[in-house]
């Protein structure tokens, strides 16, 4: 057979390996979680592909993960019957860093001031495959992809800058498909190769793996065996019969043997009864599934019945991914779609959630979609349309829940991260205005530092106040200092400050809230219900010529110069025409055309 070929690791991998091998990270046992999660991903991929390419499954082996620990030699093998890897994939996957989890880790590490390596980060992010080197001196990966007729062996050592790939030649080691990892544990880490330890770790870390995980365990059963009764006692000496034919007696003994034992519960969490799942389990599932290290702000587990049946767990994350792209880009991989428990896709483009809600994460499992559901089917399916409606409703319930939570900080956190998304919703989703509007928050002329909701505003309205007043400005300070406020402040009328560029467009799309119109106080037709026609006429007569003179001086710079009753202390104010753009919009349009 051809000799093993040697490859250098990509620089980042070398750096990562260095960190892992030399880390003082104490929670080394996470290696098993990472490797099992890879095995599970490989099984997911195969199951998904096999739906359309039935030929892939020509070897009728089950979908499972088997872990064998040899405590005498300090060796652990982890075998899955998943998709395996071709030679090229071995190079691409185990020699470079293209993977999300690991990339995230490296980035966080870079961001963290402690450039020497923050040991805690290893556990928070998981370092994927390379975590095998937390406990191993040497790792051998023997793998067979259905795309290749050969089985390949990847071999790497801790503290080495290269690895080798060769063909598997040992007939005893050939597998029909999938991957077998062999870990040769470091001297001090051999304790991990105890079968009981493995069992405990699997139970701890792999409760959400939906494939059976078997561990190789020593078992025992009791049986009755006949033994010679040689306990004949002195007292029985006289008994002639007993002495001549020795009595047989039975004894219970434990027979020992080794066998595979199913070690995890394969029922996915979303199929369980919500009453029996704890908050910790939901949060754990979230972190594990979405590679998150912060707890979500809220979760919702529900089943819908009737026309369309599906189960789902949705989450509101505690943080928006940085970068402003995400508000535009709905392809966040935040929703994992299953059909009859088979993972189908997390690659959506607004089919299940409108883009402004694309920050919601979760799983959705339907029995009413075909297993080989394609993008076209997704886009045209009535089932999907109904699902989408329900999911959106549930997402709003969840957000409303956060807004009503006793812990005001939760909603502040939500608003800070996702407020923009909801404002975008005002523009893009007329149908859900009723659900979005109560969730909006603004500063106001009376709110000081606190943000207020429209409900609070409406409650604060004066008995004869008909409209909701707002002013758009580039900051709270400039909103506070605008002369437009004078008259309203005098009358103690509250004014919303729209200081985010998108605010004004969002409010204009809403038009009204609880039958109260939104009114821009900078527009020329502002009517505060205090018109005094007599007085106005008088003023016009007295100052008419002054206005004409000013208009002449300013020429085309203004549309008109008028007497106004809306100021208290400032001598004049520039207002926008009734049908024109507000000053703020003008500013925006200018900014955009640059």
Neighbours of 365 (CB within 10 A): 23
Instruction: Find out whether 124 is annotated in a ligand binding site.
Output: yes
**Burial class of residue 293 in the structure, from the number of CB atoms within 10 Å of its CB (0-12 exposed, 13-18 middle, 19+ buried):** middle
166 interacts with ligand ADP by CB under 6 A? no
Nearer to ligand ADP, 147 or 535 (CB): 147
- Report the partner that residue 100 touches, choosing among ligand ADP, Mg ion, none (CB closer than 5 to 8 A by kind): ligand ADP
Residues sharing a CB contact under 8 Å with residue 525, sequence separation 6 or more, in sequence order: 578
Contact flag: residue 332 with ligand ADP (CB under 6 A): no
Give the CB-side neighbour count of residue 60, counting CA atoms within 13 A: 0
Query: Which residue number is nearest to Mg ion in terms of Cβ?
Result: 128
Q: Which partner in ligand ADP, Mg ion, none is near 308 (CB below 5 to 8 A by kind)?
A: none
Where in 101-130 is the site for ligand ADP (CB under 6 A)? Answer: 101-102, 128-129
Alpha helices by DSSP H, 429-500: 433-436, 454-459, 476-480, 485-490
In this structure, is the dihedral angle defined by the CA atoms of residues 321, 327, 328 and 329, taken in order, positive or negative?
positive
At 389, which helix (H) or strand (E)? helix 382-403
Does 86 help bind ligand ADP (rule: CB under 6 A)? no
Contact 286, 292 (CB under 8 A): yes
Residues 21-40 that bind Mg ion (CB under 5 A): 38
Is 290 annotated to bind ligand? no
Asked if 146 touches Mg ion (CB under 5 A), the answer is no
Is residue 55 a contact partner of residue 147, using CB atoms and an 8 Å limit? no
Site for ligand ADP in 175-194 (CB under 6 A): 179
Minimum CB distance to Mg ion, residue 101 (Å): 6
Interatomic CA distance for residues 470 and 476, integer angstroms: 12
Closest CA to 59 of 144, 157, 121: 144
Q: Is 85 in the site for ligand ADP (CB under 6 A)?
A: yes
Residue with tokens 């620990």, as numbered in its chain: 69
**42 binds ligand ADP, rule: CB under 6 A:** yes
Q: How far is the CB of 34 from Mg ion (least distance, A)?
A: 6
Q: Please state, in angstroms and rounded to a whole number, the distance separating the CA atoms of residues 292 and 312.
A: 19
User: What are the strands, taking DSSP E only, across 484-579?
Assistant: 495-498, 512-513, 516-520
Region binding Mg ion by CB under 5 A among candidate stretches 123-131, 135-143, 244-252, 474-482 = 123-131
| Choice from 29, 44, 64, 80 touching ligand ADP (CB under 6 A) | 80
127 known member of a binding site: yes
Q: What's the token pair of residue 184?
A: 């040769």
Is residue 264 near ligand ADP by the rule CB under 6 A? no
- 95 annotated as a binding-site residue: no
Q: Tell me whether residue 38 is annotated as binding.
A: yes
Closest CB 274 distance from Mg ion, rounded Å: 29
| Binds ligand ADP by CB under 6 A, chosen from 19, 83, 198, 499 | 83
Q: Quick one: which of 84, 117, 128, 317 contacts Mg ion (CB under 5 A)?
A: 128
User: Could you give the residue ranges of the DSSP H alpha helices within 176-278?
Assistant: 195-205, 240-244
CB of residue 30 to Mg ion, shortest distance in Å? 11
Q: Where do contacts with ligand ADP occur on this chain (CB under 6 A)?
A: 34, 38-39, 41-42, 80, 82-85, 93-94, 99-102, 128-129, 179
Q: Where do contacts with Mg ion occur on this chain (CB under 5 A)?
A: 38, 128
| Residues flagged as binding site for ATP | 34, 38, 80, 85, 100-101, 124-129, 179, 375
């Amino acid at each position: 057979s051809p000799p093993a070929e040697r490859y250098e690791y990509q620089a980042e991998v070398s750096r990562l390996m260095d960190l892992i091998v030399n880390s003082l990270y104490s929670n080394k046992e996470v290696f098993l979680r990472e490797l099992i999660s890879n095995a599970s991903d490989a099984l997911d991929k195969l199951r998904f592909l096999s739906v359309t390419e039935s030929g892939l499954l020509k070897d009728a082996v089950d979908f499972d993960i088997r872990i064998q620990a040899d405590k005498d030699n300090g060796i652990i093998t982890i075998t899955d019957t998943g998709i395996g890897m071709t030679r090229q994939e071995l190079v691409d996957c185990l020699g470079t860093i293209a993977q999300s989890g690991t990339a995230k880790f490296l980035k966080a590490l870079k961001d963290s001031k402690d450039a020497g390596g923050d040991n805690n980060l290893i556990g928070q992010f998981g370092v994927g495959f390379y975590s095998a080197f937390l406990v191993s001196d040497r790792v051998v990966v023997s793998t067979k992809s259905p795309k290749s007729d050969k089985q390949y062996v990847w071999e790497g050592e801790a503290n080495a800058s290269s690895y080798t790939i060769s063909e598997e030649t040992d007939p005893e080691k050939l597998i029909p498909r999938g991957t077998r990892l062999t870990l040769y544990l470091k001297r001090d880490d051999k304790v991990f190769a105890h079968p009981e330890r493995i069992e405990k770790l699997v139970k701890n870390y792999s409760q959400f793996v939906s494939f059976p995980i078997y561990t190789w365990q020593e078992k025992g059963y009791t049986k009755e065996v006949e033994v010679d009764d040689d306990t004949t006692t002195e007292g029985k000496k006289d008994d002639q019969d007993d002495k001549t034919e020795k009595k047989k007696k039975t004894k219970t003994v434990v027979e020992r043997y080794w066998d595979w034992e199913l070690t995890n519960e394969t029922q996915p969490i979303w199929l369980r009864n919500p009453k029996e799942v704890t908050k910790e389990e939901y949060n754990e599932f979230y972190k594990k599934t979405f590679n998150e290290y912060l707890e979500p702000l809220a979760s919702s587990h529900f089943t819908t019945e009737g026309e369309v049946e599906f189960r789902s767990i949705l989450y509101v994350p505690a943080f928006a991914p940085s970068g402003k792209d995400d508000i535009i880009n709905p392809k966040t991989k935040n929703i994992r779609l299953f059909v009859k428990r088979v993972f189908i896709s997390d690659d959506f483009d607004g089919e299940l959630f409108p883009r402004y809600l694309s920050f919601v994460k979760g799983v959705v499992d339907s029995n009413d979609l075909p297993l080989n559901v394609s993008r076209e089917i997704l886009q045209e399916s009535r089932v999907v349309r109904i699902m989408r409606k329900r999911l959106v409703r549930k997402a709003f319930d969840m957000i409303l829940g956060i807004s009503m939570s006793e812990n005001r900080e939760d909603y502040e956190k939500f608003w800070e991260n996702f407020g923009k998304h909801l404002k975008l919703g005002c523009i893009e989703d007329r149908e859900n205005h009723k659900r979005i509007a109560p969730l909006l928050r603004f500063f106001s002329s009376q709110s000081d530092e606190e943000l207020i909701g429209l409900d609070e505003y409406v409650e604060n309205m004066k008995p004869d106040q008909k409209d909701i007043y707002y002013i758009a400005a580039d900051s709270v300070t400039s909103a506070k200092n605008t002369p437009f406020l004078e008259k309203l402040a005098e009358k103690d009328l509250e004014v919303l400050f729209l200081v985010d560029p998108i605010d004004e467009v969002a409010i204009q799309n809403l038009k009204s809230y609880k039958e109260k119109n939104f009114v821009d106080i900078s527009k020329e037709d502002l009517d505060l219900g205090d018109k005094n026609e007599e007085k106005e006429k008088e003023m016009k007569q007295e100052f008419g010529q002054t206005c004409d003179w000013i208009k002449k001086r300013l020429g085309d710079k203004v549309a008109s110069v008028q007497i106004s009753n809306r100021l208290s202390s400032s001598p004049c104010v520039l207002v926008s025409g009734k049908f024109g753009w507000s000053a703020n919009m003008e500013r925006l349009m200018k900014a955009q055309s640059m």
